[in-house]
Amino acid sequence: MSSVSQESQGSSKQLPRPGKRNPGDPAPVNIGEEVVSRSVLWGTDINVEEIQLKFKNFLLNFSEEDSMSENPHYIQLLSEIKQTEIYVLTVNCDHIFQFDKQLYQQLINYPSDIIPLFDLAANELFKQLNGEGMSEDEFKIQVRTNKLRHVTRMRELGPEKMDMLVAIKGIVIRCSDIVPDMRIASFRCAQCGHIEKITLERGKVEEPNSCAKCLTKYSFELMHNYSLFSDKQHIKLQETPENIPEGEVPHTVHICCYDDLVDQVRPGDRIEVTGIFRACPMRVSRNRRTLKSIYSTYIDVVCYEKVHKQSFNHEEEVFEITEEVQEKIFAISQRPDLYQLLVKSFAPSIWEQDDIKKGLLCQLFGGNNKTFTEAGRGRFRGELNILLVGDPSTAKSQLLQYVHKLSSRGIYTSGKGSSAVGLTVYVKRDPETKEIILESGALVLSDRGICCIDEFDKMDDSTRAMLHEAMEQQTISVAKAGIICQLNARTAILAAANPKQSRYNPKMSVVENIELPPTLLSRFDLIYLILDKTNEVNDKRLAAHILSLYGDQRMERFDEEIIPRELLATYISYSRRNCKPVLTDDASSALTRAYVEMRRIGNSSKTITATPRQLESIIRLSEALAKMRLSGNVERSDVEEAIRLMKVATQQAATDPKTGQIDMDLLQTGITTTTRVKVQETAGFIRLVLGEFKENAKKGIRGRTIIEEVKKKSETLGIACNETEFNEALKILEDDGLISTSGKRNPIIRLIRFS
């Protein structure tokens, strides 16, 4: 601690800090009934005794205006500390400002000196109130200050903020491993073996010049095994998207946390950090003590708390809401028109699209994550993946933006501007330690949230291949640069894609329209087709709705009784945290019957109309619908609505445009059952033709000759054969080892064996 100078008559006055009062006034300060001497810390206006007495008065006398407790707020917290034995006292700086504005300003300007004095005062008061029979070694309360009146933007951190208490908000993008940080250094004299312990002050330790026992100079050596260390963690904080100026790249800040503050946040968390803005010199190299003229800045964390877009917390984090908000949530959940009210409140500026809004609401509420480790069955995901496919100007991107704003955590990205490592993780070298580290991508940062991907059809094939594991197993496996690990990506994916021909062609399947791999399409729980159909009545209503959103030109307005977005976000977060609905017997039997019925539809045409993935999707939708009502049980009505949503969405996308029947093979393999049967028939015709020209076929026949003969034979039976089906049939025969082909446009076909 800085030296204390006693001012007396005739001594030189302390140099005042610019904008501060001169502490050289010899008059004593009255606090309560006590009179303290004028002893100040060198270079400041901090009177040690005065600060401690002011803080004690604050703890003893401050009470919140709306508090129902008889005891003062912080006296109650001190009593809770004795019961929980967690010796941390969190002090709201806004309370200090209300109680004593001068004390608040001193805390902001000299936190390194004020906070240790707060610790001493809190420990003395705790011992007076609750410390009977307790020694001072049994407890040591740490005071943590939070909620400053002004939150500083990262771009405002400059030399004028140095060594001051600041508060900043940002997104955690990297957390380092826990490293030891020396707290007390032990030095041993090489001559007599005398051990001397030195406490680090402000990040520095000074080696003793001479031994106090044998008086030998420069004989000390550092003993690491006798020194005391504390946990330390480096965190990289990035500027929040809403604070980034137009055309600028986000700024990052390096923060350091110690002891029980380590491992309290993870990449993707939005946090508000209260800490001391510091600067430390940088060495030219690790092996030389020469320092650069450039200093590196960081924030020494005093306290941080997790915040979100609407200032509510995630399901696994501390979730605090007032009783008034909780009463509003319960009142909303009891409304008979709850389902329709939630649909109207979600994206009210987008006209109609009710079924799509219902599916997106189900994604926001989510299902239940289930773990069956005892049975050895692994984990079932509860997140829903949704794909929006359709014509341009159908509000796909707007729906993604609404979901992103309502979700507690998550990343919004575009398919064209995203790479494979940008979505998962990428390897880089730490500029300070020069070690290889992993930086989290969009899917890892969206863990326990929703990752919104726009322009999904414009992603590279290698980028889309990285999504297979994340969408089903919800993990990301990494084996790069000697780092082999598996990261959690428990995120729901909401993607929007445009057709390859700009407009959706109803005569072609979804796979042919957007050219996505069938293995990726099958992992989406709901696939919505948004088509722009011309209808004069609907066009007038849509135009009236859009014009009504433009200020003074108000036409027919729709029902404005909706839930505010902040309250809706809180309602969703509360439901995700507190509701874990379970399937009732009635709901289970309804699910079984529905699945069997969906499978039975394809028996006549021998097509697959449902798979176990569709059954799991219906279960997740049913649980999400139960969460909307804050119910602990999944009812029969939830299952019926989930089945309806499934039929409206995915089964519409899986409808064969040629036959009009549902065919899940279309999403599983990209080929309908009807097409597969026609390919098998074409392969049979090819074998007949090759049998007729057996001798010539062994030498080789051009493909054009064979396809003409095949068309003649198929037309006699009333079966149409096109070139695509002919090429697929050739692949099947080649895989069976019956023929070999060479060439692409007009291949030469040779008969290997005839069966």
How far is the C-alpha of 245 from the C-alpha of 257, rounded, in Å? 28
- Yes or no: say if 387 and 528 are a contact pair by the CB < 8 Å rule: yes
With a cut of 50, say whether residue 278 has pLDDT above it. Answer: yes
Q: Can you give the length of the chain in residues?
A: 755
What average pLDDT is seen over the chain?
Answer: 76
The pLDDT, as a whole number, for residue 166 is 93
pLDDT level of residue 20 (50, 70, 90 thresholds): very low
- Of residues 8 and 527, more confidently modeled: 527
- Yes or no: say if 104 and 96 are a contact pair by the CB < 8 Å rule: yes
3-class DSSP state of 296: strand
Q: Is 670 left (phi over 0), alpha (psi -120 to 50) or beta?
A: left
Please give the share of the chain, as a percent, with pLDDT higher than 70. Answer: 74
Single out the residue of 734, 747, 740 nearest to residue 705, CA to CA: 747
pLDDT level of residue 646 (50, 70, 90 thresholds): confident
pLDDT tens readout for residues 113-168 = 889 889 888 888 888 887 665 665 566 888 899 889 888 888 888 888 888 999 99
- Of residues 334 and 378, more confidently modeled: 334
Single out the residue of 512, 514, 509 nearest to residue 496, CA to CA: 514
Alpha-helix runs per DSSP H in 232-337? 323-333
The pLDDT, as a whole number, for residue 394 is 79
With a cut of 50, say whether residue 60 has pLDDT above it. Answer: yes
pLDDT level of residue 692 (50, 70, 90 thresholds): low
Helix-strand-coil split of the chain, %, nearest 5: 40, 25, 40
pLDDT level of residue 317 (50, 70, 90 thresholds): very low
Single out the residue of 354, 320, 329, 319 nearest to residue 339, CA to CA: 354
Residue 5: phi and psi, rounded to 5, are -105, 125
With a cut of 60, say whether residue 668 has pLDDT above it. Answer: no
The pLDDT, as a whole number, for residue 316 is 37
Please give the share of the chain, as a percent, with pLDDT higher than 90. Answer: 3
The pLDDT, as a whole number, for residue 241 is 73
**Which residues 6+ apart lie within 8 Å of 99 measured at CB?**
58, 61, 62
Sign of the Cα torsion 712, 717, 720, 722 reads negative
Residue 667: phi and psi, rounded to 5, are -85, -30
pLDDT level of residue 662 (50, 70, 90 thresholds): very low
Average pLDDT over every residue of 710-720: 62
DSSP string, 707-748: HHHHHHHHHHTT----HHHHHHHHHHHHHTTSEEEE-SSS-E
* Residue-range domains of the chain with CATH: 4-146 (3.30.1640.10), 154-306 (2.40.50.140), 323-557 (3.40.50.300), 673-751 (1.10.10.10)
pLDDT tens readout for residues 179-237 = 888 888 899 998 888 888 888 765 577 788 888 888 888 888 888 888 888 888 888 89
- Yes or no: say if 605 and 346 are a contact pair by the CB < 8 Å rule: no
The pLDDT, as a whole number, for residue 313 is 34
The pLDDT, as a whole number, for residue 676 is 63
How far is the C-alpha of 515 from the C-alpha of 647, rounded, in Å? 22
- Of residues 748 and 92, more confidently modeled: 92
Report pTM.
Answer: 0.64
With a cut of 60, say whether residue 337 has pLDDT above it. Answer: yes
Q: β-pairing, 701-702 with 291-306?
A: unpaired
- Yes or no: say if 675 and 508 are a contact pair by the CB < 8 Å rule: no
Q: Which residue bears the tokens 């003893």?
A: 60
The pLDDT, as a whole number, for residue 617 is 86
Q: Which residue bears the tokens 């030469």?
A: 748
* E strands present in 77-164: 88-92, 142-146
